[in-house]
Copies of this chain bind each other. A is one copy, B any other.
Amino acid sequence: MTATALSGTASALSGLDLAGTAVFAMSGALVAARARQNLVTFAFFAALTGVGGGTLRDLLIGAPVFWMHATAPLAVCLCTALLVWWTPHRLWPGRAIEWCDGLGLASYAAYGAAKALAFGIPWLPAVVMGVVTSCMGGIVRDILAGQPSIIMRPELYVTAAALAAGLYVGLAQCHVAPMLAGGCAVTFGFGLRGLALWKGLALPPYRD
């Protein structure tokens, strides 16, 4: 991929990145709200959850960490924390954390895979980049809050991330335009996670 194409893809998908950051930050702040934490802890959880996944992605693919030379990602996280702080808890629907997390999951899976491809990573590690990266935000949030990790829950979670990342990489290999491929990947990934939340959809568990 040439530098121009990379730049085009990157700008086309940067909206996806900020969207993922915002919704993960929201899910982090909601965990802080449930734990009755103070405003600084809200901001800490929002930032860590919001940029955690992308940070790991950038370290792994050898890119400069994205929020080190731009202020937008951190600003988005801090504003999200304030927004959650000021909104009465009962206005949030009961499973708001899960739905925010699901949208962030699909967005980050697609964007993570796209950025890995843009840095010359082969297809298999690129798909895994999307998956691992999109799951890390939620995982770090749960570990820090002392909750059971979201990936051990019965409904499809990692699978939805794998679908979004795999779909993006597959469509990109077929030269589909990045915006279209990203839109498809997010739609199907979030759709699958939504179905899992709504219907309790799950893959068959391991049996002896």
Q: Please judge, given known A-B contacts A40-B162, A139-B144, whether A206 and B33 are in contact too, CB under 8 Å.
A: yes
Looking at chain A's contact residues, is the secondary structure mostly helix, strand, loop, or mixed?
Answer: helix
Q: Could you tell me the distance between the alpha carbons of A62 and B67 in the complex, rounded to whole angstroms?
A: 12
Q: Could you tell me the distance between the alpha carbons of A42 and B125 in the complex, rounded to whole angstroms?
A: 17
A94 at the interface (CB under 8 A from B): no
CB-nearest residue of chain B to A119: B68
Q: Which of A128-150 contact B (CB under 8 A)?
A: 128, 131-132, 135, 139, 143-146, 148-149
Taken together, the copies of this chain in the complex come to 3
Which listed segment binds B: A20-28, A85-93, A97-105, A178-186? A85-93
Q: Are A38 and B121 in contact (CB under 8 A)?
A: no
Q: Are A64 and B62 in contact (CB under 8 A)?
A: yes
A114 at the interface (CB under 8 A from B): no
Q: Which of A36-82 contact B (CB under 8 A)?
A: 36-42, 44, 47-48, 55, 59-62, 64-65, 67-69, 71, 74-75
Which listed segment binds B: A2-10, A11-19, A151-159, A168-176? A151-159
Q: Please judge, given known A-B contacts A60-B68, A122-B71, A144-B151, whether A203 and B38 are in contact too, CB under 8 Å.
A: yes
User: Which of A's residues lie within 8 Å of B, judged by CB?
Assistant: 32-33, 35-42, 44, 47-48, 55, 59-62, 64-65, 67-69, 71, 74-75, 85, 88-90, 121-122, 124-125, 128, 131-132, 135, 139, 143-146, 148-149, 151-152, 156, 158-159, 162, 202-208
